[in-house]
Chain A
Amino acid sequence: MAATAHMTLEEIRKGLSWRKQLDKLFIAIGMALLFGCLAILAILFFDLVRDGSSRFGWDFFTSFPSRKAENAGILSAAVGTMLIMVVTALVALPVGVAAAIYLEEYAPKNWFTGIIEINVTNLAGVPSIIYGLLALGLFVYQFNFGQSVLTAGLTLALLILPIVIVATRESLRAVPKAIREAAYGLGATRWEVTKDHVLPYSTGGILTGLILGLSRAIGETAPIITIGALSFIAFLPPSPVTGEFPFLNFEWLRSEFTAMPIQMFNWVSRPDQAFQANAAAAGAILLGMTLAMNAVAIWIRYRFRKKISW
C-alpha cells in the first residue's frame, strides 16, 4: 500500500476497469434472460401459426363448429368472447373505478380501510375457478341468470375487478398534490376536484388497467367451464341491435354461449388429428387478440402521457 492517503491514478484505473466489467456482465445476463423469455413466446406463437396455417381463411371465421374438422370455425366462439368482454368491461369499469375513487379520495385512513385495501390486493390472487364456483352458486342458481353471456361477463368482471381497482388507484395517486390543492384553493368540493381534475387526468392509466384486465379475462377458461359454457353451439345470440324501435335488444344477455378458450379446449381434447390444427389456429387468433389489446393499452398510455406531463 502506498503511504499517501489517496489512490494513485493506476490504482483508480485498475479498480475501475474491474467494476465496469461487472457492469457489463450484469447487462449481458439481463439481456440473455429477457430475450430467452421473448423467444419462448415467439416460438409458441409461430408454432401455433404453423400448426394452424391450413385453417386460416375467411371460412374459419364465419363457420360454426362442425363434426368435420375442415368445416368447423370459430364464429360462435369469437362472437361469444366479444359479447362477454363487452359485459365484463361495462361492469368492471364503473364498479372498479368507483371503488378506487372511494378508497383513494374519500375513505378515512384507518385500520378498517387498511383491511379492505389488503383484501382487494388478495382478491387478485384468488384462483379463477373459485370465482367460477361463486358465480355458479350466485348468478346461475341464486339470481337465475342462467348459463348465459350475462353470467360469464359478470364472473369475469369479478375476476378482473382487483386489477382495475389497483390500476385506477395508482393512476389517481399519480395526480400531483399541487393540482388538487390548486382546485381546492379555488373553492372546489371533493367531488368537483375528482370529476373535473383527478379523473380526467388519470383516464389513461384507468383505461390501460381495464384493457390489461380484459386481456387476462379473454383467456380465462376455468370459471367459464364451471358456470356451464357449451362447447358446441351452432347459433348466434340474438343481435343487440334491431331494426325497429328502440333499436336495442338485451335478449343476447340471456343467451347460451361458448368462448374462444372453450372452443380450443374442445378441439384439443378430440382424438382426430385434424381438429388439432383448428385448436392451433384458434389459439393463434386468441393470442393475437390478447397482444392487440395490450398494444392498444400501450398506445393509450403513450397518448395520455404526451398530453399530460407533470
Chain B
Amino acid sequence: MQGEIRAQGSDTPSLSIVMEDRKTTRANPAKAAAEKLNFWYGSNQALKNINLVIPEHQVTALIGPSGCGKSTFLRCFNRMHDLQADTKYEGAITLRPDNVNLVGPETDPIEVRMRIGMVFQKPNPFPKSVFENVAYGLRLRGINNKTELAERVEKALRGAAIWDEVKDRLNDSALALSGGQMQRVCISRALATEPEILLFDEPTSALDPIATAKIEELITELRQRVTVLIVTHNMQQAARVSDFTAFMYLGELVEVDATSKIFTNPAKKATEDYITGRYG
C-alpha cells in the first residue's frame, strides 16, 4: 500500500509500480491498461498521457471536477469518440489477455464495442419492449433462437436485479418503466452480451436516491462477473462502490490508489483538496 504512486506525467515504469501495488493489496491481474494515452477533440487535447491499470473483477472509479476528462477517458474504452468527426487517439489501451490495443487505428471499433459494454448517464432504453431491449445485443450477434434468447434475456435481467419487477411485463414498452427500472434494463442490455468490461458513465445522475442505492448495490455485486469502470461526480458513490479510485484533473491522471487510501490518506495535495470539497 505504501508503494509510490506517480501517475501524473509519469512514463511506463510507474505503471509497474501501480501494478505491483495492486498485487500486494488485491492480487487481481490487470484486465486493461492505458499506456501513454492522449486524446484530442480537434486541436483541443482532452487527455494527457494517461497511464492506468484496470484490475480484473474489481470496480475502478474515475472522479474529478467537471471537464476533467473522466467521461472522455471512459469513452475511449469502447471507441465512442469514433462516432464524432475530428477526434484523435494516441498511445494505447491494452486489453488483456490478448493484448489488443482498443484505441489502435488497426482495431475495428465495432469489434471493441462487442467486447466492452456501456451504461449511459441518462437511461436510454430503445422505444421497444423490455424483452427486445435486452435481446438486441444478442440479435446483433446472430442469436435468433427463441429459447436461447429467452434464457439469456432472463439471465441478464436477473443479473441486473430487475427480473422480478419486469417478468410479467416483458412485452410492455421499456419507456413505461420508472427511471431506476429503465436504467437497470439498460444494465441488463449491456450484461446480456457478457462483456469483458462494463463502463458506467455517471449511471445514477438522473435517478432519485432510492433508485441510486439499488444501482450502487448492483454495481458492487457485478464485480463477480465483470470488470467495472465507473465515472461518477459523486464522491460518496465512488467511496461506496469502488475498490480503486483514480482522480483526474485537467485531462491528467493525478492519482490512483485503493479507494480507502484515496479517501483517507491521499498522496497528492490536489486530490485532498478535491475530496474535501475545496473545488469541483
Contact = CB atoms under 8 A, between A and B. Distances in A.
Nearest to B109: A184
Interface of A: 108-109, 176, 178-189, 192, 196-197, 201, 307-309
Interface string B162-184: 00000000000101000000000
Contact of B190 (A108, A109, A185): A185
Contacts of A309: 175
A130 to B, nearest CB: 36
Interface string B228-255: 0000000000000000000000000000
B83 interface: yes
Contacts of A183: 126, 136
B153 to A, nearest CB: 14
Given A109-B85, A181-B80, A186 B190 contact: yes
A191 to B, nearest CB: 11
Interface in B99-158: 110-111, 113-114, 117-118, 120, 122, 124-127, 136-137, 140-141
Contacts of B78: 185
B202 to A, nearest CB: 13
B140 A182 contact: no
Given A187-B137, A187-B193, A309-B175, A182 B113 contact: no
Contacts of A181: 80, 83, 118, 120, 124
27 contacts: A109-B85, A176-B124, A179-B124, A179-B126, A179-B127, A181-B80, A181-B118, A181-B124, A182-B126, A183-B126, A183-B136, A185-B117, A185-B120, A185-B190, A186-B114, A186-B137, A187-B110, A187-B111, A187-B137, A187-B140, A188-B110, A188-B140, A192-B140, A197-B126, A201-B127, A308-B127, A308-B175
B22 interface: no
Contacts of A185: 78, 80, 113, 117-118, 120, 190
A178 B120 contact: yes
B31 interface: no
Contacts of A179: 124, 126-127
A189 B120 contact: no
A192 B141 CA distance: 12
B207 to A, nearest CB: 15
Q: Sort A-B residue pairs by CB-CB distance and give the 9 closest, nearest first.
A: A187-B114, A178-B124, A186-B137, A185-B118, A187-B113, A308-B127, A182-B124, A187-B110, A187-B140
B226 interface: no
A196 B80 CA distance: 19
B53 interface: no
Given A181-B124, A201-B127, A186 B140 contact: yes
B126 A184 contact: no
B186 interface: yes
Nearest to A108: B85
A308 to B, nearest CB: 4
A186 B80 contact: no
B6 interface: no
**B85, B113, B127, B141 — most chain A CB neighbours (10 Å):** B127
Nearest to B127: A308
Contacts of A180: 83
Nearest to A182: B124
A183 B127 CA distance: 12
B70 interface: no
B192 to A, nearest CB: 9
Contacts of A307: 127, 173
